């Protein structure tokens, strides 16, 4: 089973117990050399971010089976929510995913280099003047406005090999998508649609994470009504949370993103998805303190009695939010250790008084995200959402990807 059940993380994190020695990484339950890493790289790492690609693939397979016969695509924008498109997208393709969504044309070009045979949709659509880039790389623009459609039709009429398109309808978010008046004007100009090859009509739910919101049903009804202005095409309205609103929302295609990466698509209920990341920070210093000492900038935490503190080389520059000051926590050996004082750019202080001395030492690791404390839990303490947690993960972490082999099985 993908995830952390193999128990090999302790072995592969041996540098924490052996004084900054980290000679190998975990790949599918076995240890192998870290390619492209020197011992110096490993010794000076301030944090280790482990990304379970097999768990991501398993999440996609679970959703694909749930929505069949609808197609399950994969949203891989923002570098797969910050987790590494170059590792994750090929594994999803090998597992059977054929349709992918990115945010902008540059992401689409990067993905095309990885996946020559994939259907790649670009959510922003053409910005004006970049239509040839879509054609050159076989990218499917999501057309969001009448002006985008008019521009694309003009480009397509030049016979420049314009690829197929998706059409986005606004059903209540007032963000991207054609409005109802725009659709009516489009219906009055059939030559625009005649110049292109639409293959999908899509919209986006505003309140999908609230299954009780009446807006979900209203938007679905609106999509069906407004789509009548267009040729009969496959439709899509559900992203991760929308999938769990029921089969009526699956239509022809679903577009999971957050759920693939372990975020809970059903807030307030048990998470049906496997966790996919583990973030561990390295302890730089351990110090004994006593009242009336204070901790961190602004002296916002006052020590009461004798305490032991661990200073960890992770801060808000690494995605450990400043809003976690005096309210977040980490884990050492299954014991919660609270953040004390303000989180600074490169450092966070934890109270490790309740942890055995041998478990919290310079060079040792503290779990910041992982089993029992996933991105959604961190987000709740930081007063944000799991999406921001994932995409904010800094580039100073030493990253490793496990489960990249055999992901198609």
The model carries a pTM of 0.89
Of the listed ranges 281-290, 337-346, 396-405, the one predicted with least confidence: 396-405
Q: Judge whether residue 38 has pLDDT over 70.
A: no
Give the pLDDT mean for 353-370. Answer: 95
Of the listed ranges 35-49, 87-101, 223-237, the one predicted with least confidence: 35-49
Is-catalytic flag, 77? yes
pLDDT of residue 42: 64
* Predicted confidence (pLDDT) per residue in 306-335, tens digit: 999 999 999 999 999 999 999 999 999 999
What's the first-to-final CA gap in the chain, in angstroms?
12
Same fold, 53-261 and 277-373: no
Which fold, 53-261?
TIM Barrel (3.20.20)
How far is residue 324's CA from residue 392's CA, in Å, rounded to a whole number?
14
Q: Judge whether residue 92 has pLDDT over 90.
A: yes
* Tokens representing residue 69 in the block: 């016969």
* Tokens representing residue 20 in the block: 């900054």
pLDDT of residue 395: 87
What value, to the nearest 5°, has the Cα angle with vertex 169 and ends 68 and 385?
70
Find the catalytic residue in 158, 189, 297, 306.
297
> How many angstroms separate the most distant Cα atoms in the chain?
78
Mind giving me the DSSP string for 181-245?
HHHHHHHT-HHHHHTS-EEEEE---SSTT-TT-HHHHHHHHHHHHHGGGS-S--EE---HHHHTT
Find the catalytic residue in 61, 77, 261, 373.
77
* Predicted confidence (pLDDT) per residue in 99-145, tens digit: 999 999 999 999 999 999 999 999 999 998 899 999 999 999 999 99
pLDDT of residue 188: 87
How far is residue 210's CA from residue 131's CA, in Å, rounded to a whole number?
37
Is-catalytic flag, 336? no
pLDDT of residue 408: 42
Domain ranges of the chain: 53-261, 277-373
Q: Tell me the CATH number for domain 277-373.
A: 2.40.37.10
**Going by C-beta distance under 8 Å and a sequence separation of 6 or more, which residues neighbour residue 298?**
342
Nearest to 192 by CA among 154, 233, 158: 154
Strand partners, 332: 335
Binding residues for substrate: 175, 345
């Amino acid at each position: 089973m993908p995830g952390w059940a193999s128990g090999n993380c302790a072995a592969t994190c041996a540098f924490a117990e052996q004084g900054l020695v980290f000679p190998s990484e975990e790949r599918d339950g076995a240890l192998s050399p870290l390619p492209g890493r020197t011992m110096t790289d490993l010794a000076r790492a301030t944090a280790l971010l482990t990304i379970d690609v097999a768990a991501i693939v398993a999440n996609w397979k679970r959703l694909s089976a749930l929505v069949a016969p609808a197609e399950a695509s994969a949203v891989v924008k923002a570098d797969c929510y910050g987790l590494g498109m170059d590792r994750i997208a090929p594994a999803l393709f090998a597992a059977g995913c054929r349709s992918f969504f990115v945010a902008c044309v540059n992401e689409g070009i990067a993905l095309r280099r990885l996946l020559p045979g994939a259907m790649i949709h670009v959510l922003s659509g053409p910005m004006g003047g970049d239509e040839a880039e879509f054609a050159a790389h076989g990218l499917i623009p999501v057309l969001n406005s009448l002006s985008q459609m008019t521009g694309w039709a003009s480009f397509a009429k030049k016979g420049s090999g314009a690829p197929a398109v998706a059409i986005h309808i606004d059903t209540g978010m007032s963000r991207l998508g054609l409005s109802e008046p725009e659709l009516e004007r489009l219906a009055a100009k059939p030559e625009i649609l005649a110049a292109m090859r639409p293959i999908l009509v899509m919209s986006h739910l505003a309140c999908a994470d609230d299954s009780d919101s009446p807006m979900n049903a209203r938007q679905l009804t609106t999509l069906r009504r407004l789509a009548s202005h267009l040729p009969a095409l496959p439709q899509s309205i559900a992203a991760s949370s929308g999938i769990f609103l029921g089969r009526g929302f699956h239509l022809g295609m679903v577009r999971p993103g957050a759920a693939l990466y372990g975020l809970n698509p059903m807030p307030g209920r048990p998470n049906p998805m496997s966790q996919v990341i583990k973030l561990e920070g390295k302890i730089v210093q351990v110090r004994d303190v006593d009242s009336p000492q204070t901790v961190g900038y602004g002296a916002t935490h006052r020590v009461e009695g004798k305490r032991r503190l661990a200073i960890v080389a992770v801060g808000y520059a690494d995605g450990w939010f400043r809003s976690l000051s005096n309210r977040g926590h980490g884990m050492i050996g299954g014991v919660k250790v609270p953040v004390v004082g303000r989180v600074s750019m490169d450092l966070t202080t934890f109270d490790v008084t309740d942890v055995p001395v041998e478990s919290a030492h310079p060079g040792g690791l503290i779990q910041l995200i992982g089993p029992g404390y996933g991105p959604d839990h961190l987000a709740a303490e930081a007063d944000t959402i799991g999406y921001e947690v994932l995409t904010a993960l800094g580039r100073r972490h030493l990253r490793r990807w496990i489960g990249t082999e055999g992901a198609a099985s």
